[in-house]
Amino acid sequence: IEATCKESGVEQAMKLLDEMRSKGCKPDVVTYNVLINGICKEGRLDEAITFLNNMPSHGCQPNVITHNIILRSMCSTGRWVDAEKLLAEMLRKGCSPSVVTFNILINFLCRKGLLGRAIDIMEKMPEYGCTPNSSSYNPLLHGFCKEKKMERAIEYLEIMASRGCYPDIVTYNTLLTALCRDGKVDIAVEILNQLDSKGCSPVLITYNTVIDGLSKVGKTDRALKLLDEMRGKGLKPDIITYSSLLGGLGREGKVDEAIKFFHDLKGLGVRPNAITYNSVMLGLCKARQTDRAIDFLAYMVSKGCKPSEATYTILIEGIAHEGLAKEALELLNELCARGVVKKSSAEQVVVKM
């Protein structure tokens, strides 16, 4: 039945259910759960609810998994009132919620920005014999980070650990991303340095996040030290790592160092992409070395790397900042006419000119 739901749809699976019954094989709760899940995946939630309500008449009581399937579908379609009613009905019938039940509700509330209600739900979990896990805390932390409430996020990180639920690398990556986005890179570095002692080893994306954060606030020297550190731990930097560092060197006016770093990539077996080239060109343009940036564009094309829209807008802004605003505007209009640069992007460039 499960395979039929996936391959041929629920209607065919229902025929199998009828055949199963006709041959005296009584479906159990697992059978019904598979069918309800299939109905929900097809977007037929009301039918799934009817199916749930009819289960007792077929001699089968829904279990917590049955209710969780319906709850998840209700939450994913924004039917919170129905979800609350189903939860109340579930409790009335003596079907105890599981950690998964609570996590479905917490995740929904956090996505809607209702963090206070999500916390209330979490605090009630022990009353039902459920202990919050990382999947309970992660949506909350993500919600706090999204709202730039970093103190609250760190507070809940500590609460999480104090309750014996140790954050995983996903939790830390969420926090580090938010800290770096807000420019709080020193705190991010401090947390990164503590990860090994907490039994949570940083992964590539962890380092990339902090390296990018440092590079964007003029602390590329510290970012380069992290590059050495990650290599020392056996982690292989990728094109994202190097593009962040190149961007940082360019923003700090260290264009010659950036170009040398760029050419060193070949020896490391790294193939630059458009973002990598753009990082160098942006640095050259900011240093009012647009002629070198144009030469770098030619080099980019010669290496078989197709320029992006951002490549052209970077160069046009560079030309304008060299005092050639009229020529830059003419070039921009020509590129728009050719469809190389979108009108919306061109308007943003004009504002900067």
Q: What span, in angstroms and rounded, lies between the C-alpha atoms of 61 and 67?
A: 11
What confidence category does residue 58 fall into, taking pLDDT thresholds of 50, 70 and 90? confident
**Which carries the bigger pLDDT value, residue 222 or residue 270?**
222
What confidence category does residue 321 fall into, taking pLDDT thresholds of 50, 70 and 90? confident
pLDDT of 322-335, one tens digit each?
888 888 888 888 88
pLDDT of 239-267, one tens digit each?
999 999 999 999 999 999 999 999 999 88
CATH topology of domain 1-96: 1.25.40
Q: Is the pLDDT assigned to residue 88 strictly greater than 80? A: yes
Q: What span, in angstroms and rounded, lies between the C-alpha atoms of 280 and 271?
A: 14
What confidence category does residue 212 fall into, taking pLDDT thresholds of 50, 70 and 90? very high
Return the number of other C-beta atoms located less than 10 Å from residue 347's C-beta.
11
Q: Which amino acid is at 80?
A: W
Q: What span, in angstroms and rounded, lies between the C-alpha atoms of 101 and 108?
A: 11
How high is the mean pLDDT of the chain? 91
Task: Describe the crossing of helices 99-111 and 80-92 by its angle, rounded to 10 degrees.
Answer: 160
Return the number of other C-beta atoms located less than 10 Å from residue 225's C-beta.
14
What confidence category does residue 8 fall into, taking pLDDT thresholds of 50, 70 and 90? confident
Which among 229, 230, 232, 283 has a CA at the least distance from the CA of 261? 283
DSSP 341: S
Single pTM value for the model: 0.76
CA 292 to chain centre: 36
What confidence category does residue 342 fall into, taking pLDDT thresholds of 50, 70 and 90? confident
Residue 13: per-residue pLDDT: 86
